[in-house]
Structure 1
């Protein structure tokens, strides 16, 4: 599959790099798209600065905050957005975009490092597989099943969990890691929930991912640095009206309090 991205070139060090002139390649196939590409399909998207996320019926978009501090009730105070999560049905896809070198992609390295981290830190299992966007990393990660978590589950869901799983205190959570190397950027998605195995729900998330627009910006940045997210005006207003209420999203690796904006 061909992606709508510009030709990759090697990026100089952040401290001394000069911004190279943008070169737009011919576009064919689907995205994710580089913001400098001329022929990006016109869709309704939420603009988070570094990425623009398409929306549609049945899709909820959340922002994941890394709070500078929390108030007495545990609500985030200040902080920055570290990810955007798309939720549909019982599935979620967390999105992050990073700076990358111009000539060499970083997905191969990050994929291997992620597999090692899951094995060593989470005692999980991984294997590589080919998907619509190239090589993916499929993982099984042990998720805790505490009494508090079990009490929050719907009765039917809790009843479906085998007693031996409850007794061992964890269940295997499947996850799928997807990476796309662009021109001076890298886009990563972490898919959790039913879409890991359910083709219908995965198709919704695949369509969203394929129409994301990445805006790398022209300022020098070191490779792997998270591209800056900004909050749309309407989301800021919704958050103000919610008076700081937070809503947990689906995230296999906790990155801080989360606040949801539903479109």
Structure 2
């Protein structure tokens, strides 16, 4: 769980030097243990993916039932709305909207023998807590994920929070991140279809050299037409590319006012 550190209680009056020395040693040991735990979470090999998402080499016909976006093949579901998000001239993310929920998909290059998701969770959690938000790390239907309450400004200018879920899976030299918003974040048990879309997505890493964490560029389907008002413009800032997209999804009942 990520959150503000609890303030240390003041030392009781009359505490002995012996007590203070033992306490300091205990705090130091706890800090060392936390550092060791954090270090153990990075540079781990990708975990097995028996239920997806899939690499292009793992599926026979990726276009069957999926929309070809170049870097990823997204499952098509009846009633869904598909949006793309751009950074400069490149399409870097796709968002699937289903009624009052949505999932944003973005694929990144990754090292061949190391996963990114454990390290990325730490980065996202730290970034949100610095903004005054709250993040819980839980094991959900898609593995370890972050369930966050992110501070936002409501249309009327008041402060509120948006509930989102960050999910991720490490693949073969790629990493797929999903951001679930709407009722699928507020009530995770109702997000089964969004989670299935994430699982059934196919990632096309390609053979070209790419630095770890570089976004895998997407493209519009061959028969698609660009609709300017339907394209979400996103500025990808250095150091925050994994936490993007929070303010680009439709805000619905997942946002509440903070009084």
Other-structure match for 1:55: 76
Structure 2 residues not aligned, in runs of 5+:
1-42, 234-243, 250-259
- CA shift for structure 1 position 170: 1.6
Going from structure 1 to structure 2, the CA distance change for 1:42 and 1:221 (only over 3 Å counts) comes to: closer
Residues 44 and 115 in structure 2, CA contact (< 8 A), matched pair in contact too: no
- Residue 252, structure 1, aligned to residue 246, structure 2: yes
Helix, strand or coil: the match of 2:178?
strand
Helix, strand or coil: the match of 1:36?
helix
**Deviation digits for residues 160-202 of structure 1 (CA, Å, limit 9, x no counterpart):** xxxxxxxxx1222111000100010000000111111335640
Helix, strand or coil: the match of 2:145?
strand
2:231 and 2:91 map into 1 onto residues whose CA distance is 14
How many residues are paired up?
195
Helix, strand or coil: the match of 1:115?
helix
2:67 and 2:175 map into 1 onto residues whose CA distance is 19
- CA shift for structure 1 position 118: 0.7
Going from structure 1 to structure 2, the CA distance change for 1:42 and 1:50 (only over 3 Å counts) comes to: closer
Helix, strand or coil: the match of 1:205?
helix
Other-structure match for 1:98: 108
Higher RCO (CA < 8 A, seq sep 6+): 1
> Among 84, 90, 97, which residue is 2:94 paired with?
84
1:206 and 1:254 map into 2 onto residues whose CA distance is 20
- Residue 37, structure 1, aligned to residue 58, structure 2: yes
Helix, strand or coil: the match of 1:137?
strand
Going from structure 1 to structure 2, the CA distance change for 1:253 and 1:245 (only over 3 Å counts) comes to: closer
Going from structure 1 to structure 2, the CA distance change for 1:200 and 1:119 (only over 3 Å counts) comes to: closer
Helix, strand or coil: the match of 2:85?
strand
Computing the radius of gyration from Cα coordinates, the structure with the larger value is 2
Helix, strand or coil: the match of 1:141?
strand
Taking structure 1 as the reference length, what is the TM-score of the superposition? 0.67
Structure 1 residues not aligned, in runs of 5+:
1-7, 11-26, 69-78, 149-168, 256-263
Other-structure match for 1:118: 128
